[in-house]
Amino acid sequence: MNAPQPARAAWLGLLARSPRGAIEARLADAPALPGFVRLRGPEIGMSMVRGRAGGGGAAFNLGEMTIARCSIRDEDGFVGHGYVAGRDGDLAELIARLDAALQNAARHPALHAALLAPLAADEATRRAADEARAAGTEVRFFTLATMR
């Protein structure tokens, strides 16, 4: 129904992947979030995760995972949705509030600077550390054909 919103998808993904403690710590320096009413939830449910072997072929059901979600509307009239893996309904509600505030052009820059940019940097650090750890165990296969 709605057009894709890549920027919004990016911040929702970043918030969903970030640890709750990190979000709350960064939020302490950010301007306060507006008041809100809950539209739905927070509620906990299951979602089927589907995948494709090797990124191609027919989709198969990988397994179910627990998801908490919440939808809110804030005082500025923006509707925010929060989805997070696990059973933390309060975190889903917090992400929904952040999603609503981030859609507001008046609030976005401050929140981006205080919250999204540091979280993205944290994630990049985490990812680089994981990759460095994995790189140490890399095994290079080669055949005689490529040695010639």
Partner 1 sequence: MNTLTPGFASPLDAQACFRALLTAFGDPGRAITLADGLAPPAGLSIAAAAVLLTLADATTTLAADLPAPALHWLGFHTGAPFTTPEAAEFCLAGSAPPLASLRQGSETAPEHGATLILDLPDLDTGRRCRLSGPGLAAPRETTLPLPAAFLADWAEQRLQAPRGVDVLLCAGRRLLALPRSLAIEAA
The contact set with partner 1 (CB under 8 A) reads: 37-40, 71, 73, 77-79
Please identify, using beta-carbon distances, which residue of 30 and 44 lies nearer to partner 1.
44
CA angle 66, 71, 74 (to 5 degrees): 150
Q: Give whichever of 34 and 118 is closer to partner 1, judged by the CB atom.
A: 34
Contact (CB, 8 A) for 12 and 91 = no
Shortest approach of partner 1 to residue 72 CB, angstroms? 9
CB of 79: closest distance to partner 1 in angstroms?
A: 4
Smaller CB distance to partner 1: residue 45 or 51? 45
**Least distance from partner 1 to the Cβ atom of residue 41, Å:** 10
Q: Which among 107, 109, 105, 122 is positioned nearest to 23, based on CA atoms?
A: 122
Query: 23 or 102, CB closer to partner 1?
Result: 102
Nearer Cβ to partner 1 (19/45): 45
How far is it, in rounded angstroms, from Cα 42 to Cα 50? 24
> What's the longest Cα–Cα distance across the chain?
69
CB of 47 to partner 1, least distance (A): 12
Torsion sign (Cα): 97, 71, 24, 16: negative
CA pair distance 110, 130, nearest whole angstrom: 30
Q: Give me the least distance between CB of 122 and partner 1, in Å please.
A: 31
